[in-house]
Amino acid sequence: MGKNWIFLFFLFVTTMCLFTVITLSCPDIVSADKKTTIFFYNPEANINNFVSLKAEFDAYLFPLGNFQFQPVSSEQVFEGVIKESLSASEGDIFILSSWHFNVIKKRLSLEPSLIATIKGRATYEKILITKKDISEIKQLKGAAVASAGSEEYTIHLLKGLLGKGNEHIASSMRILKVPKDIDALMSVGFGMAQAAIASEFSLEKMSHLNSSQYNMFKQLVKTGDLLLPVVVVPKKQSPLRDRVIEILTGMGNADEGRSRLKMLGFDGWKPVEKAERRVLENEGN
Amino acid sequence: MKGIKSSMNRDLFGLIILIVLLISSEILEAAEERKILIINSDRTVTNYKIAHEEFKTGIGYPVMEIDLGKDSESEKNLTEIISKSKPDVIYCIGSRAYLFANKAAGKGNFIFTSIINWQRLPLTDKTFGIANELPPLMHLTLYRHIFPKITDIGIIYSNRYNREWVEDAVKSAKEVGINIIARQIENKDGLDDALQYIVPKAQAIWLIPDPAVISDRDSLMKIFDKSRKFKKPVYSYSDVYIDLGAAISISTDIQTMARQAAGLSRDILIGADIPERIQHPAGSYIILNMKNVMEYGVEINMDALESVNKIIR
């Protein structure tokens, strides 16, 4: 009877040890409930419909696996989340603006995997729009400029748009952050701002929607091609990384996914190609 | 001789430094002395709280605060506090705050937001503000953006409250290719006939803030029942109508309004030229009721979804 107890005790201890060894070597088993999160933050657009975004993306992702979507409202929180996820090797995925990727790429070990597209294009232009009575950049000294981007991003754009020698004009301008490009454009039309920064796509929309407002506008200066937001992944491979990339890529191919992507301001994804990678890796260096 | 010259140069240099320091300390002091006072009608009201916080974040100066909903001080004491502190700018959130400020500091620079129908306020030549309502053209441009196929919109209104507004809306609608079918009523007795006329003709009904039309809950329910029967979506100006079945609400974005108020305050402080003392709001907040849109089979522009702040499913 005593020997049986000893045998059972050793069997129990051995089973527990084996279980511990197996679970420690296979983190996927331990974290079976841990969801892979797709974090989103974009300072280029004032997207603040977080509740709807989370609900819509989670509903899309739910049948496809243990994934969730998490929009983030501030740059500081977003960068904190990335650091934490990287240090814990969580295998999360991040969607961010190309400009923001350039800002953080040296600090955080991430690589671009997908780039957003609008009607098949991965680039777009931002335009500084004024009313027609503005003919020279110097007339914008101290003017209010409406923009849907964050203040830091808008200042960065303004400096580039106004060019060398006009930095003092860029810094003298008052930035009025508005919810969307169309609000920025109407702010110029209605006189709440003397200038607006909007994408070429928004300006085109306005030309169809309200030609009388559109005809008031002057396209003072354009940025040239800018890259759309990117999906970045930890450089260290994780088991579900390829699956998430596959799911995201598929979103642009069907109405269900495309309608959700349109809430973020684009309609598809494509793999980052050599030329885009070069821009992403070299810009800001 | 050389020694004397060099000593004089040193003295002159010292004097210049002293003057520069004095001037810059005066400038700094002047900047520090700027006094901004926020008077909130009631900070427990969500929209007032949002405006308060956003203004405080954006102004870039320290602020003094009075919450009329909470402060136990009597109005007399608060008036005394205001007259002693002599604020350069008073930001008033809500009409109670504005009326109080106007009484307590009649000669001050006032900036108001979150006031329905600001035209009824006692204004001074130092009153600035952001209107609470988006102009009709902004509404119509956004409606057209989201529902591109809807071109005939019905409005029931009263001359007493909205004659000029509707005239402006009819004119603005033409700019965006929309036809407004308007019907004027004196009071709720005319509502049934107006609905009978408007609803079958229009593709959507635009509910506007008109006390003669929305005089009670029954009137409101009549509008929603009729539009439901004819499967015509209701456009509204406030999120409170979404639960009743409005397909969309387009209202002012409170945070943007507070940022505009902060910008106006800074302009006043630096003595900048302010061409428009009362500005239109620059930001919109859109709620789309997808349940209703799907039920009525209304076509929406998927490209416009990025402009929507909240989707109800």
The domain ranges of chain A are 33-121+228-282, 126-224
* Tokens read off for B154: 């019905």
B271 touches A: beta carbon within 8 Å: no
- The number of helices, as runs of H, and strands, as runs of E, in chain A is 13, 13
| Phi/psi of residue A70, nearest 5 degrees | -140, 100
- Tell which residue, A106, A157, A113, A129, has the closest CA to residue A221: A129
DSSP bridge partners of A36: A67
- Which domains are assigned to chain B? 32-132+255-283 (3.40.50.2300), 136-252+285-312 (3.40.50.2300)
Q: What are the chain A neighbours of B256 within 8 Å (beta carbons)?
A: 176-179, 183
Q: Residue B3 above 60 pLDDT?
A: no
Helix (H, G, I), strand (E, B) or coil at A231: strand
Predicted confidence (pLDDT) per residue in B26-40, tens digit: 444 444 578 999 999
The predicted model scores a pTM of 0.85
- Tell which residue, A109, A111, A68, A67, has the closest CA to residue A87: A109
Q: Confidence band (pLDDT; 50, 70, 90) for A161?
A: very high
Predicted confidence (pLDDT) per residue in B151-190, tens digit: 999 999 999 999 999 999 999 999 999 999 999 999 999 9
Q: What are the chain B neighbours of A264 within 8 Å (beta carbons)?
A: 306
B144 touches A: beta carbon within 8 Å: yes
Q: Residue B25 above 80 pLDDT?
A: no
CATH topology of domain A33-121+228-282: D-Maltodextrin-Binding Protein; domain 2 (3.40.190)
Predicted confidence (pLDDT) per residue in A137-149, tens digit: 999 999 999 999 9
pLDDT, position A238:
77
A212 touches B: beta carbon within 8 Å: yes
Q: Pairing state of beta strands A195-199 and A36-41?
A: unpaired
Q: Provide the 8-state DSSP code for A118.
A: B
Q: Could you tell me the maximum CA-CA distance found in chain A, to the nearest angstrom?
A: 101
Whether residue B279 and residue A55 make contact (CB cut-off 8 A), yes or no, is no
Q: Confidence band (pLDDT; 50, 70, 90) for B281?
A: very high
pLDDT, position A237:
79
- Tell which residue, B182, B179, B188, B177, has the closest CA to residue B162: B182
pLDDT, position B106:
80
The answer to whether B154 touches B206, Cβ cutoff 8 Å, is yes
Residue A245 burial (C-beta neighbours within 10 Å; 0-12, 13-18, 19+): middle
B52 touches A: beta carbon within 8 Å: no
* Tokens read off for A279: 């821009």
Q: How far is CA A275 from the centre of its chain?
A: 20
Q: Which residues of A252-277 are buried (b: 16+ CB within 10 A; e: fewer)?
A: beeeebbbbbbbbbbbbbbebeeebe
Query: What percent of chain A has a predicted confidence (pLDDT) above 70?
Result: 88
Predicted confidence (pLDDT) per residue in A12-70, tens digit: 666 555 544 444 443 333 344 678 999 999 999 888 788 889 999 999 999 999 999 99
Range scoring the smallest mean pLDDT among A108-122, A260-274, B4-18, B129-143: B4-18
Range scoring the smallest mean pLDDT among A45-54, A97-106, A172-181, B220-229: A45-54
Distance from CA of A26 to the nearest CA of B (A): 39
Domain A126-224 has CATH 3.40.50.720: no
Predicted confidence (pLDDT) per residue in B61-85, tens digit: 899 999 998 876 777 888 888 888 8
pLDDT, position A3:
59
The answer to whether A230 touches A280, Cβ cutoff 8 Å, is yes
Q: Provide the 8-state DSSP code for B40.
A: E
More confident residue, B280 or B117: B280
Q: Residue B287 above 70 pLDDT?
A: yes
Same fold, A33-121+228-282 and A126-224: yes
Whether residue A183 and residue B253 make contact (CB cut-off 8 A), yes or no, is yes
Q: What are the chain A neighbours of B137 within 8 Å (beta carbons)?
A: 190, 210, 213
pLDDT, position A235:
85
Q: What is the mean pLDDT of chain A?
A: 88
Q: Residue A83 above 80 pLDDT?
A: yes
Q: How far is CA B192 from the centre of its chain?
A: 33
Predicted confidence (pLDDT) per residue in B6-21, tens digit: 555 566 555 555 554 4
B209 touches A: beta carbon within 8 Å: no
Question: Distances from the Cα of B101 to the Cαs of A81, A185, A192, B115, B121, in angstroms?
Answer: 44, 34, 25, 14, 12
pLDDT, mean of residues B290-305: 93
3-class SS letters over A246-281: HHHHHHCCCHHHHHHHHHCCCCEEEECCHHHHHHHH
Helix (H, G, I), strand (E, B) or coil at A199: strand
Q: What is the mean pLDDT of chain B?
A: 89
A54 touches B: beta carbon within 8 Å: no
pLDDT, position B19:
52
